[in-house]
Amino acid sequence: MQSGRLRGTTLSAVRFAQEIAEQTGGQWSAVVIGGQGVADVAERLGSFGPAKVYTVVGDAFEHCLAGPYSVVLAKLVEEHGFEVIATASTTTGRDVMPRLAARLGAGMVTGVCAWESRDGSILYKRKVFSGGVVASVTVSSPIHVLTIDATEFSDPMTGEQADVVAFEPGGLGAAYRARFAELQSHDSARPDLTEADTVIGFGRGVKDPANISNVEKLADILGAALGGTRAVVDSGWMPNDLQVGQTGKQIAPKLYFALGLSGSIQHIAGIRGAKKIVAINKDPEAAIFEVADIGLVADMQVAVPEIVELLGE
Ligand SMILES: Cc1cc2nc3c(=O)[nH]c(=O)nc-3n(C[C@H](O)[C@H](O)[C@H](O)COP(=O)(O)OP(=O)(O)OC[C@H]3O[C@@H](n4cnc5c(N)ncnc54)[C@H](O)[C@@H]3O)c2cc1C
């Protein structure tokens, strides 16, 4: 949950939970922690048919802090005996779950992209080396803590509406030592990068920040989110929360426009889940053309304004 709403990426963990519960003959439950908006999110999560939805509400949980959140989750796990705890592999998930694993003395696997039962244990698969290699991992502790690759699991099935149960975590002890002070975020009217159907990503080929307005016009016409390579983020031309790739966001839009970007292995690691990739690059040898479904060898400073005009600015 973020800003009082259920994020699309969370649905990957829901789908994973449904699969693992169904195939192992177990049950799954959901937990929502937060301040305002918990009830709405809990009801929505309940529509996917978990055994229960637990809610933890309080001012201390209005903003996600790994300390308090991991304490609460550890208490819930210990009280109810959950064996597999999963969240989407988002910034929040990657922050909270290692702490939870440490508290529970549990083994952890990040970025689970697939799983299977083998010889009575679960084999988790995760992409390594920018997605070039898939590693299979087993966890030897009784409790497994996971983050789920949000580009690989989606569209959970709806089920019988679950009961929502308030969980009272009691004191948080030393976890209260860190307190939320301020959030500096980049506000945009455009769709969220990780949830948008169409994303326009651009790279150093944009050449000058003044040229970004052409890309923005295209994004506005298509109702697309904007993203970029690390090169444009490092140049200060784009906020770093819009970086796509190995050390940025992993996205799975229906359509990804790759404009003036080379297609480095680190960038590709973030767009492997895209259904269709359209690339514009002036270099016919650019690596992005190896993964693109449609490629145009052209100067983006010429091609993008032409497309904008064609689509009717
Ligand atoms: C540990 C590590 C992690 C990294 N993580 C990431 C990450 O998460 N995301 C990421 O993106 N990168 C990441 N990088 C950086 C990555 O290696 C590349 O340096 C970066 O992706 C290159 O960005 P770029 O394609 O914009 O720039 P460049 O490599 O400079 O490519 C620019 C492209 O634009 C084309 N071009 C130039 N002018 C035009 C024009 N007028 N019209 C059309 N095309 C044009 C060129 O032909 C070229 O292909 C990481 C690197 C490391 C070492």
H or E element in which residue 21 lies = helix 10-24
% residues pLDDT > 70 (the chain)? 97
Closest residue CA from atom 30 of ligand 1: 204
pLDDT, tens digit, 9 for 90 and up, residues 206-235 = 999 999 999 999 999 999 999 999 999 999
Distance separating alpha carbons of residues 206 and 23, to the nearest angstrom:
48
CB contact burial 261-277 (16+ within 10 A = b; e otherwise): bbbbebbbbbbbbbeeb
Q: Give ligand 1 pocket residues (Cβ under 6 A).
A: 203-205, 207, 229-232, 243-248, 260-262, 264, 266-267, 270, 280-283, 286, 299-301
Give the model's pLDDT for residue 42: 96
Q: Which residue type occupies 220?
A: D
Kind of pairing between the strands at 121-128 and 107-118: antiparallel
Distance 203 CA to ligand 1 centre (A): 6
Q: Which residue type occupies 104?
A: L
- Confidence at 1, pLDDT banded by 50, 70, 90: low
Q: Which residue type occupies 154?
A: S
Kind of pairing between the strands at 225-228 and 198-202: parallel
Give the model's pLDDT for residue 132: 83
To the nearest 10°, report the CA torsion of 134, 138, 139, 140: -150
Q: Which residue type occupies 5?
A: R
All domains of the chain in start order, with CATH: 10-177 (3.40.50.620), 198-311 (3.40.50.1220)
Atom of ligand 1 nearest to the CA of 261: 25
Distance 281 CA to ligand 1 centre (A): 11
Give the model's pLDDT for residue 227: 97
Closest residue CA from atom 49 of ligand 1: 262
